[in-house]
Structures are given as C-alpha cells and as structure tokens.
Structure 1
Amino acid sequence: MEVEKQYQKRIVIKVGTNVMTNKDNRIVVPILRKLVDQIARLYEDDIICVLISSGSVIAGKEVLDGNTLIDPTARRQVYSAVGQPRMMRHYYSLFHDYGMRCAQVLATKRDFDLGKHRDNMINCYEGLLNQGIVPIANEDDAVSLSMSMFTDNDELASLVAELINADALILLTDTDGVFDGHPDDEDSNLIRNVTTDQAVEQFVQSSNKKEGEGRGGMESKINVAKKTAAKDIPTYIANGKRENVIVDIAHGKNVGTRIYHEGD
C-alpha cells in the first residue's frame, strides 16, 4: 500500500510551446527530458512539482498535416485530441526512466469555479501529490468552448498554483525574463525583481517571432505573475532552455525575473 507523504515544497512549472519546439515547430524530446530530469532531482530534494505543459496542438499537427478542417476551433480540437496522448506517451516514458509516475489532468476554466468542480479538482491534485505522482495539466482543448477557455496556459498555471497552495510558480519561456526593452536589443537589461505594483508592462514590445499554436505572450505572463504573486506565491519568468533553470530557481539562485508581493 502506498504511504501518503507531505513534501517540503510544492512548485508549479509551466512550459510553453516555444520552449519545447525547434525552428521547424516540432516537439524536441531531449528538451522534455531535461525538464523531467530537473523535476526528478527536485523530487529527491523533497520538492514535488506540477507540470503545466503546452504542446498537444503541435504534437497533433505533426501527424495530421493533411487536416482539411477550415473552422479554426474544430481544427484546434482535433489537433489537441490527437496530440494529448502523444505528449503523455513522451512524459510517461521519460518519468518512468527516473522511476517516477505521472498523471494527466485536463481542465476547463469552469472546473476552478467555487463548488463541486473545484472540490473535485482539489481532491484529485491532493491525491496525486500525496502519492508522489507528478500531475501534468493542460486545458481540455477538445471540449473547451469560448466561455470556458483559459486565456492561455499561464492562467491555468496560476489557478493550479493557487489551488494547491504552491510555494512558487515558474513560467518557462524562450527569453531570460522581463527586459527593459526588446530582448534582442543589446541595450536591453534583464529586470531581476519586479513587485506587484511595479509598472513593467511598458517595456513589453511585440515581436515577429513565430508563436506556433501558443496563445500566450510576455504581457500575459506579467499579468498572470502579478496576480499570482499578490496571493503570496512568488512567481518567476525564466528561459526554459537554460541549463538547470528549474533546479536553480527552486534552490534560490538569482535566475530570470522574480515577481513578488512587497513584504514577502
């Protein structure tokens, strides 16, 4: 019989599409392996993680190049429905290599509304975490409608962090954090610390970088990070392709941009 355990810390990690894909917009499994390796190392340090993973739509596109659906919502639903099991197959195999277990948790926004849906979500996460099973969460794109969709997976990550009383939220992207100018500009500097009332949105500039099928962006990440930090959950925006980024943040190293509530 499994013995329930209360881990020293709980960390929610959101990994975006741009972190896990290459220039051809295909899933890079070695990047997923590096993420899993870091989660496994934290597990040995008595820190349990929840992974909010994008990628299902891209994974579906990889095998459905001939999809002729014109309606963008239906097309996204089909891609996601095909891609979700492909992503979970990757994660199941990778975690298995480390002797760990993972589980899929799909949700729509209404599942976080006060009431039975939210209570069921809490029970699910608590059951998994107390058994040392890593929940891998994503929006249920196959059934989500406009009124029950998350703005993006950053919002889902924030809601999960609040739901499980996380000690930190890490939003992984393909830039090093929040800059005081365009990230590609040599004169731009990384902003290491941001308070919830600090106006850094003014520095966010649009980029021509291809976003694939992702819906989020830096402005979304800052908004979500501030809302999460205001609930006393320190939030970090960092480069998911940086070596040991998750482990370093979890161990208090000065990596990426930290958003916090003043007084924490």
Structure 2
Amino acid sequence: MKKNKCWVVKIGSALLTNNGEGIDKQLISQWVEQIVSLQAHNIDVVLVSSGSIVEGMKRLGWNEKPSDIHKLQAAAAVGQMGLVQAYESLFAKYNVQTAQVLLTRDNLINSKHFENISATLANLLDFGIVPVINENDTVATEEIKFGDNDTLAALVANFLNAERLVILTDQHGVFDADPRKNVNANLIDKIHFNDEKLERVAGKTGGALGSGGMYSKVMAAKQAAESYTISNIAWGREKEVLTRIYQGEYIGTLIHC
C-alpha cells in the first residue's frame, strides 16, 4: 500500500507543560519551526497534543489531579483554550494556520463520523493547515475514552495511512532495562514491532501527569504498524529532533515494520 507523505506527531503532557509548570511556549516554538520545515519538504503534519487537563489545573490553581470525572472535564475545557492559543500564535509567525479537532473513540468507530473526520483532515492538509488533535475530554467518559493520546495518535496514523508516527516524550526512548533502576540500561535504537522483547521491556507504569507511560507508547507503535506506519519514540527536548529524524538519524527508538 502506498504511504501518504504524512507524519503524525504526538506530544505528551509532561513535556508540553514542563512537568506541570504550564505551557512551555519556548519549547513548542522549536517543534513548530521543525514542522514548518517538514511542510517545506512536502510532508503533511498532524499534531496530537496532550496537555489540556494539566494546563487547566494550572489555570485553576489545582496542585493535584482530581479523581472526579467532571472536575477533570472542567480542567480540560479551561486548558484547551491555552493549548490552541499557543499553537495558533506560534504557527502564525510562519503564516501557517492551525485547526482544532477534538475526538472521542466513538468518532473513530462510527462509520459516518469516521468518513467525516477523514474528509475534514484531508481538506485541512490540502490547504496546508496543521490539525491539532486532542481527546475531547469534556465529553469523554470511561466507556468511550481512548485511555491516552498515544493510542489516539496511533489510530489517527492508521486511518491517515501515515508514513510515520513520532511520539515525543520526556523519556529518551525504549531501554532494554528500567534506566531509573539500572545504570547499565541501554537505549534500543531500532527494533521490529513484533519483537517480543519490545513489550516486555516497556513496563506498564505511567507518569503522574500523563495517562500513558512507555508501555502505552510501545503499544501505540504496534497499533500504528497495522497500517505499516514506522514509529519513533524520542525525547522531545532533543535538538532538532523532528528534522534529524527526517534526515534519517536514529533518534530515540525506531520501531519498524
């Protein structure tokens, strides 16, 4: 199957909000510049951005993530404003427009919704617009949630038949042991998505700010591979991370098909 020259770039909450301090516009501006560079090389880019709940918590003055679903939904609604403002203002410096797309799992399993979303994204990309996708936390419940934006990004890569999924995180990639416990842990620079070692070494524990963890990122890469999409899991603060991946460098962990 011919791959679309499209990248799905997912950015995690802890990275995007500087570990909960608030939206890191300086860091986002670096990714924006690189995305504009990718567009100049005829690569369409779709952003899947976490961070709305964490940004909302900061704006509301909450120090701890609430367990009540309605408080989380309120925080997401408040924080989403900050996210879209940040992306819109930073891309505008390059005369690139952005669009907000909020999804639930139901949107991707309902055939009519699926067709509409596909058509909308296709048109946005044709116009040179960068879609900024997030889970619609203000309406999502446990029954319809993706669970984490890693899964959402993989599903978006599937239905766009994307060439590559890049998951930017606060970790350097997948290691052959837990680097927090083993100083001799080595970064895995390249691995096949079906290698049994991949899932085993990822672990299942998420972070305090996000909902995923390395395990969800590995599982997202395996999901993306269903459409023969190559994945990179990389440290988002790596200098010129997207540009260097485009140039063929092994940044973080490359999960191939």
TM value normalised by structure 1:
0.90
- 1:179 aligned counterpart, secondary structure: coil
Deviation at 1:186, TM superposition (A): 2.6
Residues 187 and 65 (structure 1 numbering): CA distance in 2 closer, same or farther, change over 3 Å? same
Which residue identity lines up with residue 160 of structure 2 in the other structure? I
2:223 counterpart residue number: 227
Residues 63 and 102 (structure 1 numbering): CA distance in 2 closer, same or farther, change over 3 Å? same
TM value normalised by structure 2:
0.92
Aligned residues: 253
1:93 matched to 2:125? The reply is: no
Cα separation, 2, equivalents of 1:202 and 1:74: 35
Structure 2: state its 5+ residue gaps.
none
Q: Give runs of aligned pairs for residues 115-130 of structure 1, distance below 5 A.
A: 115-130=111-126
Q: Give runs of aligned pairs for residues 185-204 of structure 1, distance below 5 A.
A: 185-199=182-196, 200-204=198-202
Deviation at 1:112, TM superposition (A): 0.6
CA contact (8 A) 1:67 1:75 kept: no
Cα separation, 2, equivalents of 1:103 and 1:249: 25
Cα separation, 2, equivalents of 1:41 and 1:211: 33
Structure 1: state its 5+ residue gaps.
1-7
Give identity over the alignment, percent.
36
Cα separation, 2, equivalents of 1:253 and 1:70: 40
Deviation at 1:155, TM superposition (A): 0.7
- 1:32 aligned counterpart, secondary structure: helix
1:27 matched to 2:18? The reply is: no
Cα separation, 2, equivalents of 1:157 and 1:116: 20
Deviations 1:92-124 (CA, angstroms, capped at 9, x unpaired)? 000001111100000000111151010011011
Residues 70 and 178 (structure 1 numbering): CA distance in 2 closer, same or farther, change over 3 Å? closer
CA contact (8 A) 2:9 2:167 kept: yes
Moved more, 158-167 or 63-72: 63-72
Which residue identity lines up with residue 94 of structure 2 in the other structure? Y
- 1:157 aligned counterpart, secondary structure: helix
Which residue identity lines up with residue 199 of structure 2 in the other structure? E
Moved more, 247-256 or 94-103: 247-256
2:146 counterpart residue number: 150
Residues 70 and 44 (structure 1 numbering): CA distance in 2 closer, same or farther, change over 3 Å? closer
Deviations 1:21-79 (CA, angstroms, capped at 9, x unpaired)? 22453221111111111101111111120000011111111211169997620111000
Which residue identity lines up with residue 143 of structure 1 in the other structure? V
* Alpha-carbon RMSD: 2.2
CA contact (8 A) 2:102 2:133 kept: yes
